[in-house]
Amino acid sequence: MPDWNALFALSVPPLELLLRGTVTFLVLLAMMRVIGQRETGGLGISDVLLVVLVATAVDPSLVGESRSVSDGLLLAATIVFWSLVIDALSYRMPHLARVVKARPRPLVEDGRLNRRVMRRELMTEDEVMAQLRLHGVADLSEVTRAYLEPNGMISVIRRGEGEADGPDRPGTP
């Protein structure tokens, strides 16, 4: 018969769990901002961070390394709380959003590659050109602007047109 008290009683002081969750989330958020947008794929940085941290937080309670399921749940709730707080504050305070949220970065400007952004995101010319081809662009001169978006995707604006066709949208020849 399981010991229900040991299963749900906190084995670590709640304040310590809150502090651990807070410090872990904020430090990893800062680290994820430094690594760049390209590495996050189709998810936002805070989305990736939230998934990883919540999974890590509840892991010990799932495999029995912790004395209590409540430890993992309180830690996961702390991480979700901070994710929501950061998102809400970023929405209400644009100056904070510029620090904690990624912005689109111009990869191509008026038909020329932005080497500084490419270097920052560790992207080669071949990688940029491959992404442009997925949007139906064969030559840089066709592009007014191309941006590396916060979710890691690339958006393209062609000369004299709106946004170019993307890989998941039907194109017109």
User: Tens of pLDDT along 1-32?
Assistant: 777 777 778 777 888 878 877 887 787 777 76
Say which range, 23-37, 67-81, 86-100, has the weakest mean pLDDT. Answer: 23-37
Res. 86: pLDDT tops 80: yes
pLDDT at residue number 81 = 86
CA–CA distance, 110 with 135 (Å, rounded to integer): 17
Say what angle helices 14-35 and 45-63 make with each other, to 10 degrees: 140
pLDDT at residue number 92 = 94
pLDDT at residue number 172 = 42
**Which residues 6+ apart lie within 8 Å of 37 measured at CB?**
45, 102, 105, 121, 148, 149, 150, 151, 152
Banded pLDDT at 147 (limits 50, 70, 90)? very high
Question: Which tokens is 3 given?
Answer: 């010991």
Question: Which tokens is 15 given?
Answer: 């304040």
Q: Spell out the domains of the chain, with CATH numbers in brackets.
A: 4-100 (no CATH), 105-158 (3.30.240.20)
pLDDT at residue number 114 = 95
H or E stretch covering 145: strand 143-148
Across the chain, mean pLDDT equals 79
CA–CA distance, 50 with 46 (Å, rounded to integer): 6
pLDDT at residue number 61 = 55
Span 111-141, pLDDT tens digits? 999 999 999 888 999 999 999 999 999 899 9
Give all strands of the β-sheet with 105-109 in edge-to-edge order: 112-113, 105-109, 143-148, 154-158
pLDDT at residue number 170 = 47
Res. 108: pLDDT tops 90: yes
Span 37-54, pLDDT tens digits? 554 555 667 777 777 877
